[in-house]
Amino acid sequence: MPDVKTIGLVSVEPDYKLSWCLNTNLKISLSQTDDLIILDKSQNEKRFASYFFDDEENQFSWQLLCNKSEHGVLLKQLKNIDYFFVIHGTVEEHKLQQIIKMLKIIPEITAVFPINQTSVKDFNKLLLLM
């Protein structure tokens, strides 16, 4: 399993505005990518907006993924989370805590939650799709 850190974000802002806020405050360059498409049990498509930035300087990638859309919730166990902010690659603990601290001061973000991926059902399956 790749090294991935996930932070849950609560925000009433639409994905494009939150992406802009993250870019401005974290000095990154998230850009919209293809939606993550999941098939539900009835084989209906569920689409979730996704933004990505490959940060060559820090040797990891950033991804903003919507947990909610007009099609439903991506991870029902975390239905109170609006977005997942995912860092792909090795991130030292002090750097992760610095990122979390920066996220907490962004006015458009109501709450920030580090996510324990092993305690969330189906999270590893989701990581394989990203």
- Domain boundaries along the sequence of the chain: 4-129
State the first-to-last Cα distance of the chain, in angstroms, to the nearest integer: 12
Q: Which CATH architecture has domain 4-129?
A: 2-Layer Sandwich (3.30)
The pLDDT assigned to 115 comes to 86
Phi-psi region of 3 (alpha: psi -120 to 50; beta: other; left: phi over 0): beta
Query: Going by C-beta distance under 8 Å and a sequence separation of 6 or more, which residues neighbour residue 12?
Result: 82, 110
Report the alpha-carbon angle 96-117-128, nearest 5.
105
Q: pLDDT for 5-27, tens place per residue?
A: 999 999 999 999 999 999 999 99
**Closest-CA residue to 95 (of 118, 114, 122):** 114
pLDDT of residue 1: 45
pLDDT in tens, 46-78: 899 999 999 888 788 999 999 999 888 888 888
**Nearest Cα residue to 9 out of 76, 72, 68:** 68
